[in-house]
Structure 1
Amino acid sequence: MRTIPLLLLLLLSACSSQPDISYYQLPAVVAGNAGENAKPLYIEPVQVAGYLNGRGLVLQVSDVELVTARQHLWAEALDQQLQRQLRDLLALEAAGFSPVLQAGADTPRLTVQLARFHGQPDGYAVIGGRFAISSQPGSQAFTLRVPLANDGYPALVTALAEGLQQLSTMISLQLQQAG
């Protein structure tokens, strides 16, 4: 008779020993206000590589192997977070341009494709891909490496956000050159 409560206790303790799941999001950016004469800029939904489409944060463990975390997940879809971050960052940085939620027929469009947005075993976050502005010919490739300040997933997310900030600066400079 005593074995039933003991088995129940063992089952409950086994369930409670499962690792906790942590959720992460890119830090909020306080968007700025563009001037009256700012040109509209529409930011297309960010296209991410297929392996980034999952919920888990991604770590590159060797030159050829990527691992998706099971207990360290994005709080919302990564492509949505990235689009919002870029919109808010460019509202602060892109002098003369104002990100808009809907594009008109002649509104310039920013397209960003991310092939890399993950951690590396050497303590860096890497962001890589291409971006294009519809009012300018061609696209620009980029690869950014940001060192992690500490070990762990929170430091990885912070470094990825810093890399996204660097990308928005590159885009802002490209917009200003086009005028």
Structure 2
Amino acid sequence: MITTFRSKPTLLPGLIFSLLLGPLLLGLSGCAGSDAAPASYLLPSTTPAKQYPQTLAISVAPVGIAGHLDSEGIVMQLNDIEVYQARQHLWAEDIGEQLQQRLTQRLTLSLPRSQVVGKGQPMLGGVPVRDVRIRVSRFQGHNDGMALAEGQWQLLDGSGRLLKQVGFRVEQPLTEDGYPALVRALATAWDRVADQLAAELDRQG
């Protein structure tokens, strides 16, 4: 399990809180117009890895996500029990699909001697097979100036036998205010989850 020690945020939590939630409060009060077009975001892409002779085939299943994340709006956690789905800051594509795609890219980058594909795509024959399954329970901003990725991953062999199951919780501080910085921080947190998986796959390969 990833253990994360919080570094001191570079921004005051109250500032981040007000910048991210200010439009919500204005909208509720009826003082702000609703004509502005929503902003849409994609997780940043990664650079393809150099390919080598492949000795392991890895299948990445679609990422399961908690119900409160299954929407277009980027999620902010307001306190220990309240969450808010943004209406003007949206995921440009389904977040579960983005997480699967980025995980596949990151594993490909970290494991150049492995074939990494989405589940259901053709795989190499004659090499060991690993099946990656992830369930995400938290993928959201927090009012303390952190981005949070939390959930559980499983690693199975080609016959479906469970090899390892690990819970994860990664917190990544925002480097500046606003939703673009939150999206980048969430991407970094997700990469750290992928790197933990890659280390385990490398040990097994």
TM-score range, shorter chain: 0.7 to 0.9
Q: Secondary structure at the match of 2:36?
A: coil
Q: CA deviation at 1:172?
A: 0.6
Look up the equivalent residue of 2:194 and give its one-letter code: S
- Indicate the residue corresponding to 2:49 in structure 1: 32
Output the CA distance in 2 between the equivalents of 1:21 and 1:34: 39
- Match of residue 65, structure 2, among 48, 68, 72: 48
Q: Which runs of 4+ in 1 moved over 6 A?
A: none
Output the CA distance in 2 between the equivalents of 1:155 and 1:149: 7
- Indicate the residue corresponding to 2:154 in structure 1: 132
**Which of structures 1 and 2 has the larger relative contact order (alpha carbons within 8 angstroms, sep 6+)?**
2
- Indicate the residue corresponding to 1:90 in structure 2: 107
- Indicate the residue corresponding to 1:116 in structure 2: 138
- Does 2:194 match 1:168? yes
User: TM-score, normalised to structure 2's length?
Assistant: 0.75
Q: Secondary structure at the match of 2:132?
A: strand
Structure 1: any 5+ residue segments left out of the alignment?
Answer: 1-15
- 1:112/1:38 CA distance change after superposition, 3 Å: same
Task: Give the paired residue count.
Answer: 164
Structure 2: any 5+ residue segments left out of the alignment?
Answer: 1-32
Q: Secondary structure at the match of 1:42?
A: strand
- Match of residue 143, structure 1, among 169, 177, 187: 169
User: TM-score, normalised to structure 1's length?
Assistant: 0.85
Q: Deviations over 1:70-118 (max 9, x none)?
A: 0100000001111110111110102532202425597321001100000
Identity rate, percent: 32
Q: Deviations over 1:143-169 (max 9, x none)?
A: 000000011100000000101111111
Look up the equivalent residue of 1:167 and give its one-letter code: V
CA RMSD of aligned residues (A): 1.7
Output the CA distance in 2 between the equivalents of 1:47 and 1:100: 17
Look up the equivalent residue of 2:171 and give its one-letter code: R
Aligned pairs for 1:58-73 within 5 A: 58-73=75-90
Output the CA distance in 2 between the equivalents of 1:172 and 1:54: 28
